[in-house]
């Protein structure tokens, strides 16, 4: 079973993502509405992959990733940024932040679970 944490401050997008991930019987997913909520969840439930929105109020995606890397428990968990800002220059910047990849918004709900599997392969 693959554990995926989807972090996005937009409730509708988060709901669609979690529904899309639930279509794969080999994926167990949870959602978080903020970077702070994600960090609290990870203390109790360590995912195999984090899908992380870039632009969120308070603790944004890059800041959340930095906090994940400071925690010995989540230090090695792969993170994929989810963003509407998916120009090649921005994607390059995100990968220098230690993300394993970027998924552009709007994402295809029908292929989201397969994309997760690709990032874990």
pLDDT averaged over the chain? Answer: 92
Catalogue all structural domains in the chain, each as residue range(s) with its CATH number: 2-120 (3.40.50.2300)
Write out the two tokens for 28: 């167990």
Query: pLDDT tens-digit profile of 58-91?
Result: 999 999 999 999 999 999 999 999 988 666 666 5
pLDDT band at 41 (very low <50, low <70, confident <90, very high): very high
Mean pLDDT of 28-55: 97
Q: Determine the Cα–Cα distance for residues 61 and 67; give it in Å rounded to an integer.
A: 10
DSSP the chain: -EEEEEE-S-HHHHHHHHHHHHTSTTEEEEEESSHHHHHHHHHHS--SEEEEES--SSS-HHHHHHHHHHSTTTTT--EEEEES---HHHHHHHHHTT-SEEEESSP-TTTHHHHHHHHH-
Q: Determine the Cα–Cα distance for residues 109 and 72; give it in Å rounded to an integer.
A: 32
- 28, 35 contact by CB (below 8 A): no
pLDDT band at 94 (very low <50, low <70, confident <90, very high): low
pLDDT at 45: 98
pLDDT at 87: 63
Q: Is pLDDT at 7 greater than 90 in this prediction? A: yes
């Amino acid at each position: 079973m693959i554990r995926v944490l989807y972090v996005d401050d937009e409730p509708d997008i988060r709901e669609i993502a979690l529904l899309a991930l639930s279509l794969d019987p080999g994926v167990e997913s949870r959602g978080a509405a903020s970077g702070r909520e994600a960090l609290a969840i990870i203390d109790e439930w360590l995912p195999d992959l984090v899908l992380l929105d870039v632009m969120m109020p308070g603790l944004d995606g890059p800041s959340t990733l930095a906090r994940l890397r400071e925690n010995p428990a989540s230090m090695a968990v792969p993170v994929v940024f989810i963003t509407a800002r998916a120009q090649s220059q921005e994607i390059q910047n995100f990968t220098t932040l230690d993300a394993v990849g970027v998924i552009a918004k709007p994402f295809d709900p029908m292929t989201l679970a397969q994309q997760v599997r690709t990032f874990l392969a």
